Amino acid sequence: MSEKDKMLVGEIYDANNDRQLIAERTAAKDKCAAYNSVTPSDMQRRREIMSGILGKAKGEFLIEQPFYCDYGYNIEVGENFYANHGLTILDGNKVRFGDNVFIGPHCGFYTAGHPLDAESRNAGLEYAKPITVGNNVWFGGNVCVLPGVTIGDNAVIGAGSVVNRDIPPFTVAAGNPCKVIKKLQK
């Protein structure tokens, strides 16, 4: 099994010594640099470049500059997706956003994690677990979503939250660690 295959199924893999993964990350970072250098008013060019970064985009979307990712091809955005400035997605595994998702400034979605034992971590080994975000979800600014998290439809995640576990639909959740603080009416 290749290092990329291991990455995509959530197993421990070596991202730092695999030529294919290094080349794919470098290509994605070059595309992000191109995107981030386009004049903000040139919406057509921004959309063209971003469409070449994302794995899948359904309908209309807007991602403000700057934007950063590891691979791009593991990112899927739904209809009417909006992300404010400073979005970072470490997409070693799938990151799926539903329709009508709004993301505040300086948020991060991190599928990548590292082993707890220092020897493996120092050897550059890591894992990647998917992140799934439902429809009609709103993230306040400076939210951090960690590997393997699912956020249900119609959830609201408060600013500054660190989401390290699943958040059910129709809830407001906030904090570090993020937890449900209010249920919303369906």
Taking alpha carbons only, the member of 53, 58, 109 closest to residue 86 is: 109
Alpha helices (H) in the chain, listed in sequence order: 3-8, 19-37, 43-53, 118-122
Q: Is 114 a catalytic residue?
A: yes
What does residue 151 show for φ and ψ, rounded to 5 degrees?
-120, 125
Residue among 106, 114, 129, 179 flagged as catalytic: 114
The residue whose two tokens read 């249920």 is 183
Taking alpha carbons only, the member of 132, 124, 131, 127 closest to residue 146 is: 131
Q: Which residues are catalytic?
A: 114
